[in-house]
Amino acid sequence: MSRIASAFAKGKAFIPFITCGDPDIKTTAACVREAVRNGADLIELGIPFSDPTAEGPVIQGANIRALSGGIKTKDVFELVKDLRKDVTIPLVFMTYANVVFSYGSEKFIRTCSEIGIDGLIIPDIPYEEKEEFLPFCEKYDVDLISMVAPTSEERVAMIAKEAKGFIYIVSSLGVTGMRSSFSSDLSAVVAKIREVTDVPCAIGFGISNPEQAGKMASVADGVIVGSAVVKILEEKGVDAPVCIGAFVKEMKDACMEVKG
């Protein structure tokens, strides 16, 4: 069983997102370890990029702070090497195509494999253009994570049939950011996916509190939370790790209350 599969094997998975290097790499490492200690099942690590088109203002701000602090892709790779000394849960990168291209696609994905990255999410590459990266991901055993949205309609089954690792279901239109309401079609999206694959599904974009986490966990196999975590970093800075740990525990507990 792969590390990603194992993250979903024990029940509903909770997946926090953290922008690497915000406010610095040392704090990122501490936040990841606190998240693991408090029940995170898988962690998305954001590699900062100057034009993160899928992100709302909170995560955009984190990207700007990290880049202003001098963070480079090679620094994120070194971070993961350090984390893998004791962190055993799956880690996936979320970044943008230019980051991978500029580093060299094969070199980037080979390095991901060497340092212990389990998957790669590239939100600005549509399903139809995934061949830019998929051969390298298959060669080096890094799952290229597929994204679907309620508006994907007939494309949902097409994307799901070839999905690896887990399927990232976007909860609503627009960019990331905390929301008070979500698409009413999420159960239908999951049902379409279940018709063609048993690859786990996790819902992200906008989830920010335990009530929402529990509701989404009742629909899917996992819950992804980004902006609410990054907001803690924005507010607490280097003092954020303990607060993020407490938040992760609260959200994981809400997920665990959901049966099935």
pLDDT 10s digits, 109-157: 999 999 999 999 999 998 889 999 999 999 999 999 999 987 888 899 9
- The residue among 197, 242, 4, 221 whose CA lies nearest residue 119 is 4
- Give per-residue pLDDT as tens, 9-43: 989 999 999 999 999 999 999 999 999 999 999 99
The ranges assigned to domains in the chain are 3-256
From the number of C-beta atoms within 10 Å of its C-beta (0-12, 13-18, 19+), residue 179 rates as middle
Q: Cβ contacts of residue 252 below 8 Å, gap of 6+?
A: 14, 38, 39, 40, 41
**Maximum average pLDDT range among 59-63, 86-90, 127-131, 150-154:** 86-90
Could you tell me the pTM of the whole model?
Answer: 0.94
What is the CATH number that goes with domain 3-256?
Answer: 3.20.20.70
Higher pLDDT, 239 or 126: 239
Higher pLDDT, 20 or 179: 20
- Give per-residue pLDDT as tens, 157-169: 999 999 999 999 9
